[in-house]
Structure 1
Amino acid sequence: MLRLTTQCNSACTHCTVADVEAHEARDARQALGEIVEARKRGCDELVIMRGEPTLRPELAKLAQAARRIGYRLVQIQTNGRLLCYPDYLDRLVRAGVDFFEVSLFGARASTHDAISADEGAFDQTVAGLRLLAARPQLGHLVTIAVLAANLDELVAMVELVAELGLARVQLNFTRPVRVDGRWRTEVLARLDDAGPAIRAALRRARALGLAASTEAVPLCQLDPEDRAAAETARDFVDVQVVDLHRRHASFADHHRQVRPHAPQCAECALAQVCPTTWAAYQELFGTNELRALNSADGFL
């Protein structure tokens, strides 16, 4: 996983790279060097992380180079706005990008654009998703940031993903960020408010035949049917991260640091496979919304 920049063409107030320490963006030569070195270490999947990688003019060349030296998958994390231009999307695909992880913030333009802080963002993202759906050879994941402003649209967002002809969706409980000495708590949903909306959205996804997963949603906030699709630390054992301000030879240990168990998790039968939720969230709001499970279906 490689970050090129924290720059973006949206200005989301919940942005989870807003608190990344200030560093100069990685230039094309440096990025290529990192890609080559990671391949020597055995990496064969490349994920270019947010900020917005489609703003970088060398993106296609980096993807092409990665393919040439043996990466079997090249994925970008994107807000999808520039994917609405068919020629640009085709250029990325020809270069070797074969998986797109696209963020969706609302089922309505008014909600998505307000969260993106840019009018017209929704129309561009949806147009980009339509073009992805028309290219079934491409892998995709639509990621839905779970926020206070969109809880009542989670089900509708899942329905929109299905309507667009896409097959995979992930609901991500958003990490708190601290910028200029202040936590941006006003954009956050609380777990006990978000849980019912997340469960309803996942039930709708199952009914529509979508592959659905979650990030940073504790298992106690999920229906038993959806717990197997929650990510865990062990999913990241083989993930190497080259960020602008830190590196991780294996992301699994860092994953557990930023998602610690709460005291009551010691009594939970599913603690070892639970993603829990963000350390910063637990510090800000406490851990009373985390509840120990005594089996796959019940609470202690």
Structure 2
Amino acid sequence: MGEIKKIELVLWHKCNCRCAFCCAGSSTGDQFEPRRAVDTLIRYRKQGVESVAFGGGEPTIYPGLPALISAARDLGYSPIEIKSNGMRFCYPEYVQDCIKSGADLFTISLWGHNAETHDRLAGRAGAFEMTEMGIKHLAHYGAQTHVDFLVSSLTVEHSADIAEKLARLGVRRINLWVFSVFGAGGGMKDLTPKLERAGRAALEAAKAAARHGAGAVTSHIPPCLMQGRTDLYFSITELKLLIVTPGGHSFMAEESPFEAGEHVTACGKCAFREICAGPRREYLEMFGHDEIRAWPRS
């Protein structure tokens, strides 16, 4: 295992949504008890880890999350991130509790460009409305807010519109996640968009977000499919992120099937080979690699 700059503490797998493609489900199995969570924070901080994200499941329904945030702050972690579906942030007092405790980055997952699509995929009526209100409250209190937006066959044509809307709401960065068939999503292959179209959507989303001072980036679409725009692409390995689960299993983010890419023949001569992980293996199994073309080396 290489250098670790950030950990994501998966507090538990409980959630207030029933996302159709969730690989974790909403099991009530392993979870971090508060004392063990603090001990874990202490251990990794002593090892030089700088930043922490609290994830799940859904971390905002974890009892005592603000206390864990305070512990992370007192240990010197920075930034301190909450990765959430954003629904509980529709309550302004909870937003204030998290901010006062020391959280300074909020990353909200959004599965659809409208209520119909998002609620369907989230498995909960009213989820979109609550998440949208949560984003507005975060902006109102000056919180740095990012959104993980799911690019699927249902949303790819609307990526620019939602990027502009989110930027207007105060979101500073939109992470474009391409739908993955990993886990429960294995039965929903029709939601996977072609990468060529997703690449065009990323360009459109970046342009729309930029009009309002925000950015759009992705780790799932190779730069060769975004007109060579390396500024819109990042490799997950750059984060040096370790996922720490309550069951005792830890792994680097790039080892996850959600992130692991594979180089194809065209990548051998591509100018971006050193920075690009390539398409996911599952995508190549579904669609092949004809879309992937080597970007000329200058």
TM-score (norm 1): 0.87
Picking from 5, 8, 12, the partner of 2:15 is 8
Instruction: Give the match for residue 272 of structure 2.
Output: 270
Distance 1:204 1:257, change over 3 A: closer
Which of 220, 223, 228 is the equivalent residue of 1:219? 223
Asked if 1:145 corresponds to 2:147, the answer is: no
Shift in Å at residue 25 of structure 1? 2.2
Does structure 1 conserve the Cα–Cα contact (< 8 Å) formed by 2:202 and 2:216?
Answer: no
Aligned mate of 2:82, from 76, 79, 89: 76
Matches within 5 A, 1:125-164: 125-136=131-142, 138-164=143-169
How do 1:1-300 residues align onto structure 2 when only pairs under 5 Å count? 1-18=8-25, 24-136=30-142, 138-179=143-184, 182-224=186-228, 226-237=229-240, 239-244=241-246, 246-248=249-251, 251=253, 258-295=260-297
For 2:275 and 2:28, locate their aligned partners in 1 and report how far apart those are by CA, in whole Å. 34
Q: Percent identity?
A: 27
- Give the letter aligned to residue 213 of structure 1: V
Q: 1:21 to 1:276 in 2, by over 3 A?
A: farther
How far apart, in 2, do the equivalents of 1:145 and 1:67 lie? 30
Q: TM-score, normalised by structure 2?
A: 0.87
Contact 1:14 1:174 in 2 (8 A): no
- What secondary structure does 2:150 align onto? strand
Report deviation, 1:80: 0.4
For the Cα contact (< 8 Å) 2:111–2:121, is it kept in 1? yes
Displacement of 1:140: 1.6
Contact 1:148 1:187 in 2 (8 A): yes
1:13/1:187 contact within 8 Å kept: no
RMSD, matched Cα: 2.6
Aligned mates of 2:76, 2:183 — CA distance in 1? 39
Secondary structure at 1:272's aligned position in 2? coil
Q: Shift of residue 139 of structure 1? A: 1.9
Between the aligned partners of 1:35 and 1:261, the Cα distance in structure 2 is 35
* Counterpart residue identity of residue 129, structure 2: D
Displacement of 1:255 after TM fit?
8.7
What SS class does the counterpart of residue 240 from structure 1 fall into? strand
Structure 1: tracts of 5 or more residues without a match = none
Cα shift at 1:121: 0.6
CA contact (8 A) 1:83 1:89 kept: yes
2:107 is paired with a residue whose SS is strand
Question: May I ask how many residue pairs the two structures share in their alignment?
Answer: 290
CA contact (8 A) 1:205 1:212 kept: yes
Q: Give the 3-state SS of the residue equivalent to 2:211 in structure 1.
A: helix
Unaligned runs of 5+ in 2: 1-7
- Give CA deviations for 1:259-290 in whole Å, capped at 9, x if unaligned: 12122211211111114232222233322222
Q: CA deviation at 1:206?
A: 2.5
Post-superposition shift, 1:162?
2.2
The amino acid that maps onto 2:217 is S
Distance change (3 Å), C-alpha of 1:233 and 1:73: closer
Query: Aligned with 1:8: secondary structure?
Result: coil
SS at match of 2:141: coil
